[in-house]
Each structure stands twice: as structure tokens, then as C-alpha cells.
Amino acid sequence: MLFVRHATTPGMRAARFPADEDADAAALARAAALGSAVAGVVAWAAPATAARQTADALGLRARVVPALGEADCGRWRGLPYERVAQEEPDGLASWLTDPHAAPHGGESRAAFATRVAAWLESVREEPSGVVVCDAGAIRAVLGHALGLDPLIADRFDLTPLSTTELAVTREGWRVAHVNRKVLF
């Protein structure tokens, strides 16, 4: 199963908590250049606008899967990380160190990881295809595949339009590659 991190957005460039935004036109043009490599495969996309736009640019008829959406950041949605660090340092510290904390009133990182892992297991019988989503969902599937705590899985660096690939075996999921920059 090939995971593609969706194209960049203004919020990604400005270091803000995820919000539903359009993808950058230039990044979508780069994604379109790879479309022939993934044509005709089963595809899923997160509900975020940028994910759906990236899937469209790749020429995929992706099924939108709510479980692949980014974690709900509650009142921090769309805010710059720096502002949250200044205004709610204790809440941010809690969120960064406790996977069950949700000081923003949204979803904890542990709940998010559980949601994404459940979807991954639901497609285990047909594990080929392309998934277009943001970094959080890809980190969650990597964490699930490797048995990692959500805080440890968050250490994976995932570039926009990079690919990560998982394969399923009798013993579980295996990681074929992470953050391959094939779309640039």
C-alpha cells in the first residue's frame, strides 16, 4: 500500500496546526506529473481538501475515508504553533508528552492513532492501492506497523508529496520505504 503525503498548503508553510485548506497549485502540478505511475489503482483519500485535490491531480478516483482525516486539534485548528506555545505552554507541553492528552478540546494523539490503525486493519485483505493523506495519518500507520507509541511515531519526517509504502504479511505490516521523494 502506497501512502502519498498530500501537496503543501499555506498552513504547512506557515507552521500552523492543520486546518482544511486548498493545496498549492505548484505542488499539485508536480503531483500531476506522477499520475501515470499510479493510474488505475484502488485509491483512498483523507477528507481534507488538499488530500482530495492531490488525489485528483494524480488522476486517482479516490474514495474519501473519514478515518484518514488529521487529528481534531480543537481550538488550536489553524493556529500557528508558535502562538499556541506562547499562549498555552502547559497545554502544548501536555499534548507533546502525553499521547492521551487533548488540551485543545479535540482528539488525543492516541485516539487518532487508534482510529487510523483500525482503518488500516480493515483493508488488510486488499492491501494494494494508493492512500493520499497528511503526515499524521502516515505516522499513525507507521506506528501501527512497527508497534510504536504515537509520540515515537511522530518522529518520522514526511515531506509533502513523498511516499511511504507498507506491505502486509502473515505476521503483520512491513515497512518497504518511508519519505521517498519521488514526486519532485
pLDDT in tens, 43-86: 999 999 999 999 999 999 999 999 999 999 999 999 999 999 99
Phi, psi of 19 (to 5 degrees): -140, 160
Q: What is the pLDDT of residues 88-99, one digit of tens each?
A: 999 999 999 999
CATH number assigned to the domain comprising residue 97? 3.40.50.1240
Cα separation of 110 and 132, whole Å?
A: 21
Cell numbers linked to 98: 502525553
Cα separation of 69 and 64, whole Å?
A: 9
Which pLDDT score is estimated for 128?
86
Kindly tell me if the per-residue pLDDT of 184 is higher than 50.
no
Which pLDDT score is estimated for 33?
85
As for how many domains the chain has, the answer is 1
In sequence order, the 6+-apart residues with CB closer than 8 A to the CB of 155 are none
Cell numbers linked to 10: 499555506
Cell numbers linked to 171: 505476521
Domain span at residue 33 reads 2-180
Cell numbers linked to 82: 508558535
State pTM to two decimals. 0.95
Kindly tell me if the per-residue pLDDT of 125 is higher than 80.
yes
Kindly tell me if the per-residue pLDDT of 127 is higher than 80.
no
Phi, psi of 105 (to 5 degrees): 85, 10
